[in-house]
Amino acid sequence: MSSIPTYDTSGFRNRFMPLPEIDALLHPDPARFFIVRIEDMFPHVHLPVPPVRSLSHSCLFVTSGEAIMQIGGDRYTAAAGQLLFVPAGQVFSFGTPDVNTGYLLHFHPDILSVRFGASAADFPFLGPGDNLLIRPEEPAWIEPLLVRLLDLYTRTGLQSLSLIRSYLMTFLYEAARYRDQEESLFPPTAAQLLTRRFKALLHKHIREEHRVSAYAGKLNVTPNHLQKAVREASGESPTKWIDRTLLLEAKVLLYQTSLPVSEIAAEIGFSDPSYFTRMFRKYEGVTPLVFRKKMEKS
């Protein structure tokens, strides 16, 4: 199987933001790093953005209004003073434009490891399965860091990359500190922790494994225990989460490739294309081909 496609920064910009106003905001090599004000960029984005995935991490900090995104199988609403992370490789989408202001931070994973030896493992919100929305009790520290990053980037682009890295790492460690504080005040239950691990495994293994029992085995629990925990934490069964994740993977392939439906079915682990089509129609109300045509027209 080939890997599920992703957009690099240039590909995403060319598809959803092919306007000179966007080029004026970005310096060369935006795949490594860029920061912009939400209100400067998003009026120029072609919406809706269907399920896609990126090679880089993104973070929204909302200063007014709210931002609504679908990330993986979860729908997030970030209000003023809150941070929302989109990990590299995670499927995401968003629809009609939200009325908001704030900052969009975008950075490639390599920018963390080149000098500091850090990775997504140091920041759980940069990996699948974790809670991606951070609600700092005192968000006053966030905007000054982002203002400084924006000023550096606007004036010098990546010529000040070492200084940009330093501010970025400070920002991420502060975000991690507030995430840990939030979890100490409101500790996740055993069911929530198990559900996070289950979601992380889905992200990693969904193309080759669709059985609840297989994920239970990887988590060293019984299928019944996993069923109860995931339903308690999310309100939905593991089977529903598996189907939803499969649908997201299928939508990415339908939109980002020209593969026939039979090959898409095989890419995500279905030996029978007709069974895949029935499952897709069950949840979406249309066949994969009709979905693709709708996306092409939007």
Confidence class of residue 15 from pLDDT cuts 50, 70 and 90?
Answer: low
Most confident of 107-111, 158-162, 212-216: 212-216
Better-predicted residue by pLDDT, 141 or 235: 235
Q: E strand or H helix at 185, and its extent? A: helix 161-185
Kindly state the tokens that stand for 118.
């850090």
Mean pLDDT of the chain: 88
Q: Could you give the 3-state DSSP secondary structure of residue 127?
A: coil
Q: Could you give the 3-state DSSP secondary structure of residue 123?
A: coil
Confidence class of residue 23 from pLDDT cuts 50, 70 and 90?
Answer: confident
Domains of the chain from N-terminus onward: 9-185 (2.60.120.280), 190-297 (1.10.10.60)
Query: What gap in Å lies between CA 217 and CA 225, rounded to an integer?
Result: 11
Confidence class of residue 25 from pLDDT cuts 50, 70 and 90?
Answer: confident
Query: What gap in Å lies between CA 216 and CA 232, rounded to an integer?
Result: 16
Confidence class of residue 2 from pLDDT cuts 50, 70 and 90?
Answer: very low
- Sequential DSSP letters for 230-293: HHHHHSS-HHHHHHHHHHHHHHHHHHH----HHHHHHHTT-S-HHHHHHHHHHHHSS-HHHHHH
Kindly state the tokens that stand for 229.
């925990």
Confidence class of residue 1 from pLDDT cuts 50, 70 and 90?
Answer: very low
Residue 142 identity: I
Query: What gap in Å lies between CA 285 and CA 170, rounded to an integer?
Result: 46
Q: Cα torsion for 20, 23, 25, 28, to the nearest 10°?
A: -170
Q: E strand or H helix at 175, and its extent? A: helix 161-185
The model's pTM = 0.84
- Write the pLDDT tens digit of every residue in 240-270: 999 999 999 999 999 888 899 999 999 999 9
pLDDT above 70 for 19: no
